[in-house]
Amino acid sequence: QKEVEQDPGPLSVPEGAIVSLNCTYSNSAFQYFMWYRQYSRKGPELLMYTYSSGNKEDGRFTAQVDKSSKYISLFIRDSQPSDSATYLCAMSAGGNKLVFGAGTILRVKS
Amino acid sequence: GAVVSQHPSRVICKSGTSVKIECRSLDFQATTMFWYRQFPKQSLMLMATSNEGSKATYEQGVEKDKFLINHASLTLSTLTVTSAHPEDSSFYICSAPVRGAGVKEQFFGPGTRLTVL
């Protein structure tokens, strides 16, 4: 079993839709949860960062962490074609070592 | 945010040759850098942790004699793929955390696409 599971998609939605991206994990030591966006042939860029459980909102993006269920989500409101990318969840138990999910390919159609 | 660069962005080489990839933190110091490999439509897999002034730490299953890492200064780490073979073709990405900062202050390079013929 992988430490972090993420549905690779692709997920295709119309412009303006609400997008829900999810990851599950098995390591209860994870405390730091990140979402990265990666465009084709580019390095990942940090979108959202959450420590422990709870919600965090930043513009059109909302990150949720449920440690009791070992489940994290990223919601994108009013999705735009420019949001089309691969979204990677990543987790850490501390220090700087990150464990990534497989990434979900998102396509927003105009 | 901080900037991490990689060079070259793309390299094509013949089987059996060695290829060096550089990772630089441009506006901050990094005592640690991480090297990842990403196959098409797959996630980033950590290969090794590069430590300035000491030996790199390799993840299980990664051959240290094949993937040589040198962290010569607080802003430069290099990954050398020795005697490259077609199965080494991949997208190699480095990341560097800002020294003394938390895990969220970790910045990724743009990646190097290696194709071995």
| pLDDT score at B72 | 86
* pLDDT at position A8 over 90: no
| Cα distance between residue B105 and residue B89, in whole Å | 29
How many secondary structure helices (H) and strands (E) does chain A include? 0, 11
| pLDDT score at B36 | 95
Cβ of A100 and B43 within 8 Å? yes
User: Mutate which of B44, B94, B95 to test chain A, going by most A C-beta atoms within 10 A?
Assistant: B44
Q: Is A104 on the interface with B (CB under 8 A)?
A: no
Q: What is the mean pLDDT of chain A?
A: 93
Can you list the residues of chain B whose pLDDT is less than 70?
1
Helix, strand, or coil here: A26? coil
Q: Does B101 or A76 have the greater pLDDT score? A: A76
Residue B93 with chain A: CB contacts under 8 Å: 43-44
From A43, A88, A92, residue closest to B110, measured CB to CB: A43
Specify the amino acid at residue A23. Answer: C
Q: Dihedral (C-alpha) B115, B76, B4, A22: value to the nearest 10 degrees?
A: 70
Cβ of B46 and A98 within 8 Å? yes
Cβ of B41 and A95 within 8 Å? no
| pLDDT score at A97 | 83
| pLDDT score at B112 | 97
User: Mutate which of A33, A97, A105 to test chain B, going by most B C-beta atoms within 10 A?
Assistant: A97
Residues A75-81, mean pLDDT to the nearest whole number: 98
Paired tokens of B100: 């003394």
The label of the residue with tokens 């999705």 reads A79
Cβ of B97 and A92 within 8 Å? no
B116 forms bridges with which residues in the sheet? B13
**pLDDT band with cut points at 50, 70 and 90 for residue A85:** very high
**pLDDT band with cut points at 50, 70 and 90 for residue A51:** confident
> The dihedral of CA B117, B4, A102, A61: what is its sign?
negative
Paired tokens of B69: 């890492």
